[in-house]
Chains A and B, each alone.
Chain A
Amino acid sequence: MPENAVEVRGLVKRFGDFHAVDDVSFEVSRGEIFGFLGPNGAGKSTTIRILCGLLSPTAGEARVGGYDVATEAEQVKENIGYMSQKFSLYDDLAVEENIDFFSGVYGVRREIRETRKEYVLKMAGLENRRGDMTRLLAGGWKQRLALGCAILHEPPILFLDEPTSGVDPIARRTFWDLIYQLAEAGNTVFVSTHYMDEAEYCHRIALMYRGRIVALGAPAELKRSLNLPSMEDVFISRIEEEERRTA
């Protein structure tokens, strides 16, 4: 396993003549919680989907876990867990059935399948609701179950696309506790959000705006270098500068 979990160089994704991702470069080291911030339409999801091998890049290079996403998508998929922006478990399956399904699809070995299931149920706080239909779960539980299903195969690298959108503050807090646990266990967590306060939880962040990265670094570092009190001020100042530059 290389030192950097994710390496992106000159990445471009065009839809027609629209540049959704416009020459983006960054690195994420192992064990890091890397935040991807930016308003809607900035290109966060598009970047993540390229990194997960769901979209092919127009230009540039991206390596995940040392594998090229464009040519070694199979290996990439063995090494990642992905939670898409839209809730994507099966509503008509029971909690446990969703876990069993993804366990099978990820090829989790038979000997550890039960342990992994119990771990995920415990993590999501759903030990007593394993037989419930997934559609009956409230937002926070659904999100934790989705996270659990994405890490059944113990992937070293996790991509979470706005995992906390639309859940209440307490559930968000609980979710971030889980992210910390995973990072402490040595996993790399790549997480996108549009909540400003969540930026502070990340080791490093990239601020994305109109397909470009306009700021990159640790939150404290960014605040210090711009001499601004909060991340929110950092965002506003960087975005204003970007507007001036392109105007």
Chain B
Amino acid sequence: MTFRRYRAVAKKEFLHILRDWRSLFAALAMPLVLLLLFGYALTLDVDRIATYVYDQDGTPESRELVERFRGSRYFDVLAMVGDYQTVERGIDTSRILLGVVIPNDFSSNVLSGKEADVQLLLDGSDSNTASLALGYAEGLMQMYALEVQNRAQNQKGMGHPGPAVDARIRVWYNSELQSKNYIVPGLIAVILMIIAALLTSLTIAREWENGTMEQLLSTPLRPAELLLGKLSAFFVLGLVDTVIAIFVGVVVFEVPLRGNPLFLLAASSIFLFGALCWGILISTVARSQLMAYQMGILSSFLPAFLLSGFVYAIENMPPVIRLLTYIIPARYFVTILKGIFLKGAGPEVLWGPLALLCVYAAVVFFLATKRLRQKVA
């Protein structure tokens, strides 16, 4: 291992990166675009849903329900209307998304603990938004119904079912509060995995295709020097991408960064190095750039997306798949990111997954150099 040879490779790779400005631009824009794209798709929160309320009951109970709708940031009660047609027309003309019709037996049903049928009219043309609106409205009404019953029971002096009711309410409310803060850190892990694997996956295949590999192999350059040189150049690019991704997460998605930013960067560096090594390994296996590209996308995106615990909880997976997640580096990085972002965790808590990421990087790097040496012979 000679520093001089390693440095020559690193410098040359930097020049390649700088000369290919189209790829450079893509590499820098990718974290931004992917984060915004996936981030907004996955953390879609609907708020200020335009609503008409038709209160046929006109009792204190029904008025209290209406106040709940008014008080929620998810609903914007534009008007109280006096007939059904106005509600329908509102939906037809897209003035409102939701119509709430409270029947005249609402208060008596609620107070007697029977099911209180409130009619919800929805504009289903955007089914996603409609189902979210439905979810919020049902949650709000359920909470209200439980509270009213609770109150009624307390007045009659019948026990204290308080905590059970509380728990259900919490679930309703958390489902949405969770999404952004939990999804964005996971997304950063997935995106960095994709970018890193793509950055490096082409690099060796390109040397083979251009015939320059043959030239390199005739020189005293060693596989480890070649790979480390290449990794260094891409590492710098990957680090810039990491900073962009974290910045977007914090500034655009307002994910709280409770941990130490420097520790976050250091942990990301370890993950990044392993992910870059993975791309290099693919590159030594693939014969053509096209094949390397496809293998790079599939082998980085799918496992990181599906098996990292970012979208699907690992505890709920079948045992075989759960075992598989242990070899997915994104799994550890998702844990680390959530820990640093949301809990402000430091190395003393996260050393386990960090150590595993180091092991992963070392193993993959070793395999890549071995593979390159084999191909030479």
User: A interface vs B, CB < 8 Å?
Assistant: 49, 52-56, 74, 77-78, 80, 82, 84, 86-93, 97, 100-107
Given contacts A88-B211, A88-B214, A106-B220, 7 further A-B contacts (CB under 8 A): A54-B376, A77-B220, A84-B211, A89-B215, A93-B16, A101-B11, A107-B220
B22 within 8 A of A: no
Q: Which residues of A contact B179 (CB under 8 A)?
A: none
Report the bound CA distance from A52 to B121 in whole Å. 79
Please give me the residue from chain B that is nearest to A55 by CB atom.
B377
Q: Is the CB–CB distance between A54 and B12 below 8 Å?
A: no
Min CB distance B207 to A, Å, is 9
Q: Is the CB–CB distance between B212 and A90 below 8 Å?
A: yes
Q: Which residues of B contact A86 (CB under 8 A)?
A: 211, 214
* Given A87-B211, A92-B15, A105:B20 Cβ within 8 A: no
Report the bound CA distance from A107 to B3 in whole Å. 10
Report the bound CA distance from A54 to B216 in whole Å. 10
Report the bound CA distance from A226 to B4 in whole Å. 53
Q: Is the CB–CB distance between B11 and A77 below 8 Å?
A: no
B199-221 interface with A by 8 A CB criterion:
210-212, 214-221
B49-92 interface with A by 8 A CB criterion:
none
Q: Is the CB–CB distance between B8 and A105 below 8 Å?
A: yes
Report the bound CA distance from A90 to B210 in whole Å. 9
B343 within 8 A of A: no
Q: Which residues of A contact B15 (CB under 8 A)?
A: 92-93, 97
Q: Which residues of A contact B217 (CB under 8 A)?
A: 53-54
Q: Which residues of A contact B20 (CB under 8 A)?
A: 92
Q: Which residues of A contact B218 (CB under 8 A)?
A: 52-54, 77, 80, 82, 84
Chain B 1-16 per-residue mask, 1 if CB under 8 angstroms from chain A, else 0: 0101101110110011
Residue in contact with A104 in the complex, picked from B4, B211, B214, B376, CB distance below 8 Å: B4
Report the bound CA distance from A138 to B20 in whole Å. 22
B212-259 interface with A by 8 A CB criterion:
212, 214-221
Number of B residues, CB within 8 Å of A:
25
Please give me the residue from chain B that is nearest to A152 by CB atom.
B219
B19 within 8 A of A: yes
Report the bound CA distance from A125 to B12 in whole Å. 23
User: B interface vs A, CB < 8 Å?
Assistant: 2, 4-5, 7-9, 11-12, 15-16, 19-20, 210-212, 214-221, 376-377
Min CB distance B253 to A, Å, is 37
* Given A92-B19, A100-B8, A105:B216 Cβ within 8 A: yes
* Given A82-B215, A84-B211, A90:B12 Cβ within 8 A: yes
Q: Is the CB–CB distance between B214 and A54 below 8 Å?
A: yes
Number of A-B contacts (CB under 8 A): 75
Please give me the residue from chain A that is nearest to B376 by CB atom.
A54
Residue in contact with A89 in the complex, picked from B8, B212, B219, B220, CB distance below 8 Å: B212
Give 10 CB contacts A-B under 8 Å: A49-B214, A54-B214, A82-B218, A88-B210, A88-B212, A90-B212, A97-B12, A100-B11, A104-B4, A105-B221
Q: Is the CB–CB distance between A77 and B12 below 8 Å?
A: no
Please give me the residue from chain A that is nearest to B211 by CB atom.
A86
Residue in contact with B16 in the complex, picked from A52, A56, A90, A104, CB distance below 8 Å: A90
Min CB distance A15 to B, Å, is 14
* Given A78-B220, A92-B19, A93-B15, A104:B5 Cβ within 8 A: yes
Min CB distance B203 to A, Å, is 12
Report the bound CA distance from A93 to B376 in whole Å. 25
Q: Which residues of A contact B7 (CB under 8 A)?
A: 104
* Given A86-B214, A88-B211, A106-B219, A101:B16 Cβ within 8 A: no
Q: Which residues of B contact A55 (CB under 8 A)?
A: 377
Min CB distance B268 to A, Å, is 29
Please give me the residue from chain B that is nearest to A92 by CB atom.
B19
Report the bound CA distance from A80 to B219 in whole Å. 8
Q: Which of A77, A93, A105 has the most CB of B within 10 A?
A: A105
Q: Is the CB–CB distance between A101 and B214 below 8 Å?
A: no
* Given A92-B19, A92-B20, A105-B221, A84:B214 Cβ within 8 A: yes
Residue in contact with B2 in the complex, picked from A52, A97, A107, CB distance below 8 Å: A107
* Given A74-B220, A107-B2, A107-B220, A101:B8 Cβ within 8 A: yes
Min CB distance A65 to B, Å, is 13
Q: Which 3 pairs show the lowest CB-CB distances between chains A and B?
A: A104-B8, A86-B211, A82-B218
Report the bound CA distance from A106 to B218 in whole Å. 10
Please give me the residue from chain A that is nearest to B212 by CB atom.
A88
Report the bound CA distance from A49 to B215 in whole Å. 11
